[in-house]
Structure 1
Amino acid sequence: MAKADRQSGRRYTEAEVRAILERALRDTEGRDVGHDELVAAAEEIGISRDAIEAASRGIEHVRGEEDARAAILARRRRGFRSHLFSFLLVNAFLFAVNALTPGPWWFFWPLLAWGLGLAFHARAALSSDVSPRRLRREIERSAARARKEQELRLKEQRRAERLERQRRLEQSAEELGHAVEEGVATVLSRIAQEIRGSAPPAPPPAGDAPRGRRIAPLDADDAESDGESEALGEEEAERAARRGRGRR
């Protein structure tokens, strides 16, 4: 397969194209290449998008198998280390009990039996062979775990959005309440001003007399003269009444 260069008319074989791409990738080592960048670069050298998509799916599948294999081997080695620690601890305890008590040596019997099982476990744990069934189960488990993590992230995102909307609604309600209170206070203030402007002046208190017409208090002589005038008036009235009865 030969690739034509649009600018200079040069042509490259498939091996040369691979070598050029590998060298270019080595020159850009340390920088991750996005999927769109990879597709654009492939289209520049005449590789279709479908071919890149199929190749990327294959690479992702291989990467998933490698990750699954690494996870299985790591889990096996962790289990073997835990088994080895239990083996050493328990058999050390049995040796101490056998050494401190009288009688024949018997601790090596459980040591040999358990050691045989530990040897089989080590053979399986230190081996790099993984069956396709185990790989498929691990890939499915990883996919389920990834989906669960994605769902949890989506739930947390929705929860954060819901809390943010609730906070904004509460803030808007609080601002609306303040605005209503200020508006009501302004209306009441204007009504009070109008009422004060249209009300008649308040009358003076009952105990206060108008200026210039204040009544002076009566002294003792004026009170006696008033009493004498009243007595004379009553006598004159009685005389007039007697004269009227004598004429009849």
Structure 2
Amino acid sequence: MAKPDKQGGRRYTEAEVRAILERALRDAQARDVGHDELVAAAEEIGISRGAIEAASREIEHVRGEAEARAAILGRRRKGFRSHLFSFLVVNAFLFAINALTPGPWWFFWPLLGWGLGLAFHARAGLSSDVSPRQLRREIERSAALAQREEQRRLKERRRVEQLERKQRLERSAEDLGHAVEEGVATVLSRIAQEIRGSAPPAPPPAPEGAPRGRRIAPLGADEAGADDAESEALGEEEAERAARRGRAGR
């Protein structure tokens, strides 16, 4: 029989629960945790799904504000650095011109005027104060950029899918063309074989001594009868002529 756990009946305060969870997460292997895993782990210790959903929304809001604040401050500092670089380069160039040309010193007048504007810019660019209106506008701007990026990725995915579909259709059409060509060739070959099979046999070759004149096809029964009648008529006419010549000779 298993012994009861000595820690099973112990109770923890809210501060102790937070400290234990933070230490456990810090000592555990670092990895990304999915939303479903987080909800399942919270339900194991008696935290409802609704509380987790509300807390996650708050975390997302805080994360969005932190990212917006960092973006605003980054743009401010980048603009100030660009302004400072231009200020140094231009005023150094003006100083060189003033030093190399005779006359009074005048370069400090643009230096003072521009330096005053640079000071105001430094005050705004190096400040960490961000108003709620600026945060809201930056969050909306980031959301619009993310939406446009998602639309761009969606269009690119659709374009790739259309290209792949077009290539598949072209390959299918090419395969169909090859199949049709092979089928037509097969049909023509079969027709040629049937024609060769139904053709009359070739006539036997003529003997070597026979004259190689024009071949006369055999006559039919009607044509043979007509030739016989014509021969008899010619014979009778020839006999009458011979009889006339005999009588005339007498």
Provide TM-score, normalisation by structure 2.
Answer: 0.80
Tell me how far 1:167 sits from its aligned partner. 1.3
Instruction: Note the aligned Cα RMSD (angstroms).
Output: 2.2
Inter-partner Cα distance in structure 1 for 2:65 and 2:199 = 93
Tell me how far 1:29 sits from its aligned partner. 4.7
- Structure 2 residue 217 is the aligned partner of structure 1 residue 214: no
Tell me how far 1:11 sits from its aligned partner. 2.8
Large movers: runs of 4+ above 6 Å: 238-241
Aligned to 1:43: 43
- Structure 2 residue 113 is the aligned partner of structure 1 residue 126: no
Inter-partner Cα distance in structure 1 for 2:174 and 2:155 = 28
SS of alignment partner, residue 12 of structure 2: strand
Change (3 A) 1:146 1:125: same
Aligned to 1:80: 80
Inter-partner Cα distance in structure 1 for 2:68 and 2:198 = 90
Aligned to 1:8: 8
Deviations 1:129-161 (A, max 9, x none): 111111111110000000000000111111111
Aligned to 1:185: 185
Tell me how far 1:28 sits from its aligned partner. 2.3
Inter-partner Cα distance in structure 1 for 2:17 and 2:182 = 76
Deviations 1:86-126 (A, max 9, x none): 11111111111111222111111110111011011111111
- Structure 2 residue 175 is the aligned partner of structure 1 residue 175: yes
Q: How many residues align?
A: 217
- Structure 2 residue 150 is the aligned partner of structure 1 residue 147: no
- Structure 2 residue 248 is the aligned partner of structure 1 residue 245: yes
Counterpart of 2:139 in structure 1: which amino acid? I
Aligned to 2:25: 25
Aligned to 2:111: 111
Counterpart of 1:68 in structure 2: which amino acid? A
- Structure 2 residue 159 is the aligned partner of structure 1 residue 159: yes
Inter-partner Cα distance in structure 1 for 2:182 and 2:35 = 58
Aligned to 1:200: 200
Tell me how far 1:190 sits from its aligned partner. 1.1
Aligned to 1:93: 93
Aligned to 1:62: 62
Inter-partner Cα distance in structure 1 for 2:112 and 2:15 = 59
Tell me how far 1:240 sits from its aligned partner. 7.9
Deviations 1:142-198 (A, max 9, x none): 000000000001111111111111111111121122112111211111111111011
Provide TM-score, normalisation by structure 1.
Answer: 0.81
Unpaired segments ≥5 residues, structure 1 = 217-237
Aligned to 1:219: none
Q: Quick one: percent identity of the two aligned structures?
A: 81
Greater Cα shift, 104-113 or 176-185: 176-185
Tell me how far 1:215 sits from its aligned partner. 4.3
